[in-house]
């Protein structure tokens, strides 16, 4: 698909902390669903008890799932919310650090257990971001 930009205005904004033991991705999506947030920018800082993420095989169009049972700090986080199958979907990538400061990361999956996390959500107004299958990449893009 060609490059496209949409002009947006600022909607609501939320800051939150997530419960220890909750699921990082699902807990943010739950808040968005409760509040009717369907387009937003999201960031987070904190630590997790286990990490689960993926790498997308660009040639075969398949996700390769990765995980780490170690405890990690979140040292990078980029994310947005859009609509996928009619529900708010969190598209998030993160970098995680370990006890020696070494880092790893990828596309976040459900199954990341929160130790402590502080989240910021900035809603976009004036735009509908709806994910649909893109033939060229095999991804659901808006």
Binding residues among 13-42 for its own copies as defined by CB under 8 A: 13-20, 22, 27, 31, 35, 39, 41
What is d(CA 62, CA 78) in angstroms, rounded to the nearest whole number?
A: 21
Closer CB to its own copies, 10 or 87, in the complex:
10
What are the structure tokens assigned to 54, written together? 């993926």
CB of 54 to its own copies, least distance (A): 8
Candidates 25, 29, 38, 44; binder of its own copies (CB under 8 A) is: 44
The CA-atom distances, in angstroms, between 116 and each of 23, 49, 61, 93 are 11, 9, 33, 18
CB of 86 to its own copies, least distance (A): 20
Of residues 117 through 136, those in contact with its own copies by CB under 8 A are 118-121, 124, 127, 129, 134, 136
Tell me the per-residue interface mask from 85 to 114 with its own copies, x by CB under 8 A, - otherwise: ------xxxxx-xxxxxxxxxxx-------
Residues 6+ apart with CB under 8 A from 55: 63, 64, 66, 106, 107
Q: How many residues bind its own copies (CB under 8 A)?
A: 78
The CA-atom distances, in angstroms, between 80 and each of 68, 69, 73, 137 are 24, 26, 20, 19
Q: Interface with its own copies includes 115 (CB under 8 A)?
A: yes
Tell me the per-residue interface mask from 51 to 70 with its own copies, x by CB under 8 A, - otherwise: --x-xxxx-----x-x-x--
CB neighbour class for 123 (10 Å; exposed up to 12, middle 13-18, buried from 19): buried
């Amino acid at each position: 698909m060609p490059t496209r930009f949409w002009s947006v205005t600022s909607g609501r904004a939320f800051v939150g902390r997530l419960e220890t033991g909750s699921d990082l991705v699902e807990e943010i999506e739950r808040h968005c669903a409760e509040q009717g947030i369907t387009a937003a920018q999201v960031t987070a800082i904190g630590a997790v008890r286990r990490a689960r993420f993926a790498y997308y095989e660009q040639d075969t169009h398949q996700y390769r799932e990765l995980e780490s049972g170690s405890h990690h700090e979140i040292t990078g986080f980029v994310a947005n919310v859009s609509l996928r199958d009619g529900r708010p979907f969190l598209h998030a990538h993160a970098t995680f650090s370990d006890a020696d400061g070494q880092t790893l990361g990828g596309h976040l999956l459900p199954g990341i257990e929160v130790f402590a996390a502080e989240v910021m959500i900035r809603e976009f107004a004036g735009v509908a971001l709806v994910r649909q299958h893109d033939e060229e990449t095999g991804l659901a893009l808006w």
